[in-house]
Chains A and B, each alone.
Chain A
Amino acid sequence: MALQTKSASRQRGRARALPVNSAAPYLMHIDLNSCFTTIEQQANPLIRNKPVAVAAYTTPNGFVLAASYEAKALGIKLGLNVRQAKEICPEIIVLMPDPPKYRAAYTRFKEVLLEYTSDVTPKSIDEFVIDFRGSAAIRAGMTMEEIGYEIKQRLREHIGEYVSVNVGIGPNRSLAKLAAGLHKPDGLDIINAQNLEATLANCELMDLPGINRRFKARLFAAGITTPLEMYNADPNFLRNNVFFSKLGDMWHARLRGWEVDDVEFDRKTIGHQYALKEKTFDRDKLCRLLMKLSEKTGRRLRKNNLVAHGVHLSIRFTNHTYWHHGQKTEQALYATQDIYRAAADMLRGIGQFPDNVSLMSVHVFNLQDKSPEQTGLFDDFQIHQRRLADAADKINDRYGEFTAIPAVMAGMRGKEILDRIAFGSLRDMDDQMR
């Protein structure tokens, strides 16, 4: 209702300040503390209460993907490499990621939440938003705080006794997430109309979910240095002097407890990325990796019953320079070979490499449903390619990934592209769980 008011007033040129949403807070944000390392510490009781890091590789240049609370307390954080982590703490236990285990924990996490309501939205592998409005627990007279503590206990029973979560309760997604971050680890906080201003008064701008360094700089330039000043700012000022778009109105509504983030975005691309353990500029090796990336991308594309009309290839070099190119295709891409051919053409188009390749990614875009299949009169070859791809997928489903492989990949070691969890991309993870 408030957003309609805002919309109407915008038509008159100026947005009116919104009142604070005084409705009872029924949105819960839950995140698992230090997800990957906590699950590893759950699985191995001998490494509990010790500094642990999960890194892309355990070799010195492998990047730290997650650090346990004990490691974080020493200053080890995401993005450091293993060498730097060991310089800070020589006793740190460094482990490779184990995606199937993390997916299993995610599934159990979700199962517990679905016992309460079907309105559960996964935000990433370790974060969920639950809308409890109309749920059986609320109808039975439980308070949100009681539900939060019960969920904490149920997760310990269902995933493991070492697992703890942060629970945040608020009138909208953003404030619920802010509440979840107030007392880490194992916190439970509620933000409502009564304590909203007091809570914001104790926060920094970058504590607000979605406020990054760039936004903080913009806010500072406009004279806003605290969340409370942002909360009190006129919506027109936020729109015209800070965000220069409707983002200003959205932030005004968000900080006053109105929901503006309940949106689902369509999937736009499917792809796979690989950080090379052994950096190289050997084009034959890169072509084999490219084929494997194309196969992983193609498998996902086909599992989702989609075709694509474009390929994007990006390459990062050891000297931190970057090359990327996207190309639309007339032909619908479906088989791995179609994707590979388009990506390999782009790879050949690069002149001399400035340095060894350190990272390569292939994505397909302009996605469409595969069926109904539209083929031309003379498209026999394309139909055969598609059937071949489907047949190879069936073999790989039955006997394991990369049992049937394109000839280019012959001689590759099976683990040359490892199974990974894509941060923030649940659709990719859902594909891998199928």
Chain B
Amino acid sequence: MREVINKEVSVVSFFSASKRLSLPHIVSWHGTEYAVGKIGFHHTIRKGNTLHHIFELVDRDEVLWMRLNLDTSNLHWTLEAVSDGLAD
């Protein structure tokens, strides 16, 4: 079931200079720290002049899917939605 969250969350991210990749690493939500596993898809959108990076990923245990939005105007992370991969 997919649930819309739209709340700012704490995220630890890292940048690998050798791979030229910047990715979220740990997401803190509802008092739990989720280590990021597979990144399913990453794309960008523009809202007016502001670029947003959208990361769709699963935690390392592959039980929770998250959609994270990084607002590049203030570098704040928003957890937009979560899903357990089951039907509504």
Contact = CB atoms under 8 A, between A and B. Distances in A.
Interface of A: 39, 42-47, 50, 58, 90-95, 100-101, 104-105, 160, 396-400, 403
- Interface bracket on B: 20 to 34
A101 B43 contact: yes
Contacts of A91: 86-87
The interface centre, meaning the residue of A44, A160, A396 with most chain B CB atoms within 10 A of its CB, is A44
A93 B87 CA distance: 5
Contacts, number: 64
Contacts of B85: 44, 46-47, 50, 93
Interface of B: 2, 38, 40-41, 43-45, 47-50, 54, 56, 58, 62-63, 65, 83-88
A46 B58 contact: yes
Nearest to A44: B65
Nearest to A102: B43
Nearest to B40: A43
Contacts of A399: 48-49
Contact of A95 (B2, B41, B43): B2
Contacts of B87: 90-94
Given A39-B41, A95-B2, A397-B48, A44 B86 contact: no
17 contacts: A43-B40, A44-B56, A44-B85, A45-B38, A45-B65, A46-B58, A46-B84, A47-B65, A47-B83, A91-B86, A93-B85, A94-B88, A101-B43, A160-B40, A397-B48, A398-B48, A400-B50
B49 A100 contact: no
A45 B62 contact: yes
Contacts of A95: 2
B65 A101 contact: no
Given A46-B65, A47-B83, A400-B50, 4 more contacts: A46-B58, A58-B88, A93-B88, A400-B48
Contacts of B38: 45
B45 A400 contact: no
B72 to A, nearest CB: 14
B56 A93 contact: no
Contacts of B48: 396-400, 403
A41 to B, nearest CB: 8
A396 to B, nearest CB: 8
Contact of B83 (A46, A58, A101, A105): A46
Contacts of B54: 100-101
A357 B43 CA distance: 36
B44 A44 contact: no
A100 B41 CA distance: 12
The interface centre, meaning the residue of B49, B65, B87 with most chain A CB atoms within 10 A of its CB, is B87
Nearest to B44: A104
A101 B81 CA distance: 15
Nearest to A433: B46
Nearest to A107: B43
Nearest to A403: B48
A284 to B, nearest CB: 29
A42 B87 CA distance: 17
